[in-house]
Amino acid sequence: MTAGGTLDRRAVVAGLLQERRELLVVSALGSPSYDLMAAGDHDRNFYLWAAMGSAAMVGFGLAQAQPDRPVLVLTGDGEQLMGLGALATIALRRPPNLTIVVLDNGHYGETGMQPSHAGRGVELARLAEALDFPSAETITELQGVEPLRRRLHARAGLHLAVVKIEPRNWPRALPPRDGVFVKNRFRQALGHSPS
């Protein structure tokens, strides 16, 4: 298996966010947060800037507290590899409204494109299957994005999708770094006032 794939990560993320309606999105530090910002800032986006390996757990906690809304976690292969145990934790509870999308370029893009475990043969979708995720898939063609988008809005079951993207760094689209502001904006969009 070759490292990463051929898809344009910005086109993948923009496609997933079309007609987002009730969608809540958590993005991992680095490129997934830039991709989410590039697709358009939104009150119901939460961008992480630290705590590598935590994005799926933030999305899991959010999905548990907001069971009536679809929750999308956008992460990368290196980030999710740092939180492999989290996949086991999430697999036990199977929140039906949670979708984890791993943008897999097979590399640590932020630090100089060193190959990751995923780029050296570890397949995260197979790991998710072994953990008994109700469904997991690997997407290598852009046509796979629209069915994934429809699926996450249906809240039809915990799902992990590995999307094979081109190992290439795009110009950064920097989201707000004030976490308190982004948190309060997010919570207010769900009807919770700042304390």
Partner 1 sequence: MVSESEPGWQREVFDVLKAAGVRHVCYVPDAGHAAAIRLAEADPGIEAVVLTTEEEGIGYLAGAWLGGEGGALLMQSSGVGNCINTLALQPCIRFPLLMVVTMRGDWAEFNHWQNPMGQATEPVLKQMGVMTWRADAPAEVSPLLRGAATMAFEGDSACALLLGQRLIGEKEWVK
Cβ distance to partner 1 smaller for residue 97 or 138: 97
Contact call for residue 46 and partner 1 (CB under 8 A): yes
Give the torsion sign (CA, 25, 58, 52, 47). Answer: positive
- Cβ atoms 131, 96 nearer than 8 A: no
Euclidean distance between CA atoms 76 and 26, whole angstroms: 12
What count of Cα atoms within 13 Å lies in the side-chain half-sphere of residue 39? 26
Is 108 a binding residue for partner 1 by CB under 8 A? The answer is no
Instruction: State the DSSP string of 109-142.
Output: GGGT-EE-TGGGT--HHHHHHHTT-SEEEEE-SG
Out of 88, 113, 142, 156, name the contact with partner 1 by CB under 8 A: 88
Binding span for partner 1 by CB under 8 A among 12-20, 79-87, 105-113, 151-159:
79-87
- Report the residue from 23, 37, 38, 55 that binds partner 1 according to the rule CB under 8 A: 55
The residues of the shown chain that bind partner 1, judged by CB under 8 A, are: 24, 26, 46, 48-66, 83, 85-86, 88-89, 92-93, 179-180, 182-183, 186-187, 190-192, 195
